[in-house]
Chains A and B, each alone.
Chain A
Amino acid sequence: GESVGLHLPTLSVQEGDNSIINCAYSNSASDYFIWYKQESGKGPQFIIDIRSNMDKRQGQRVTVLLNKTVKHLSLQIAATQPGDSAVYFCAEKAGGGSEKLVFGKGTKLTVNP
């Protein structure tokens, strides 16, 4: 069935540390994955995405890793800053003609100064 979830609901890190947010998905047919950041009262903000034919993609201070063997997705944030504090969602596109994104419940990241 469709299920995108996160291993940890909360994550607390010190400013300057690296953060790793994990996500498990269950649909092996999913061909596209995306990470969003959502601050309180705002809409989700695109961070980075990756297609299923890749296993790693890098952006500015962020890296997404995709392990299709174990159906696991992770978001790495380098040198975490207080402005990175937010809820992070992973989402997958199930494919099979559907264009909808299926979201997990999110991980709340808190960056301590």
Chain B
Amino acid sequence: DTGVSQDPRHKITKRGQNVTFRCDPISEHNRLYWYRQTLGQGPEFLTYFQNEAQLEKSRLLSDRFSAERPKGSFSTLEIQRTEQGDSAMYLCASSFVPDQETQYFGPGTRLLVL
């Protein structure tokens, strides 16, 4: 399967710890997006990259959150000093512009902060 992949699929951590998630987009997709989804809600946009440049960030992305896409391929999302309110599903999506703007999502990383 050459879809979007995310690792890990599940993460349990204690409050105050740092966590890092990885996303591998569909091959050759130049855009990569991060969203967060809490139970019973739709995904909420966090940030996106075009190649290695981070072009848009949501106000949801507090200073404890940082995302990178150093080589324009995979991306990492780090949350520092996790809080219980960070518990959510973290979704990654990718697209290839300008040919097609459809965002294809990965399976997500479910984070539980105890």
Closest to A6 in B: B42
Partner-binding segment picked from A11-19, A63-71, A97-105:
A97-105
Interface on A for B, CB 8 Å cutoff?
Answer: 4, 32, 34, 36, 41-46, 49, 89, 91, 93, 98-106
- A98-B56 contact in complex given A34-B102, A44-B91, A49-B102, C-beta closer than 8 Å: yes
Q: Please give the number of chain B residues whose Cβ is less than 8 angstroms from any Cβ of chain A in the complex.
A: 24
* Contact residue among B35, B44, B58, B107 (Cβ-Cβ distance under 8 Å from A42): B107
Q: Is the Cβ of A89 less than 8 Å from the Cβ of B42?
A: yes
Q: Is the Cβ of A99 less than 8 Å from the Cβ of B31?
A: yes
**Which A residues are in CB contact (< 8 Å) with B106?**
43
- A99-B91 contact in complex given A36-B105, A46-B102, C-beta closer than 8 Å: no
CA distance A41 to B49 in the complex (A): 25
Chain B proximity of A3: nearest CB distance (Å): 11
* Contact residue among B43, B48, B101, B110 (Cβ-Cβ distance under 8 Å from A32): B101
Interface on B for A, CB 8 Å cutoff?
Answer: 4, 31, 33, 35, 40-45, 48, 55-56, 58, 91, 101-108, 110
Q: Is the Cβ of A103 less than 8 Å from the Cβ of B43?
A: yes
Q: Is the Cβ of B42 less than 8 Å from the Cβ of A91?
A: yes
Most buried by A among B44, B56, B101: B101
Most buried by A among B33, B35, B43, B45: B43
Q: Is the Cβ of B43 less than 8 Å from the Cβ of A44?
A: yes
Q: Is the Cβ of B55 less than 8 Å from the Cβ of A99?
A: yes
* Contact residue among A44, A101, A105 (Cβ-Cβ distance under 8 Å from B45): A101
**Which A residues are in CB contact (< 8 Å) with B33?**
99-100
Chain B proximity of A38: nearest CB distance (Å): 9
Chain A proximity of B11: nearest CB distance (Å): 14
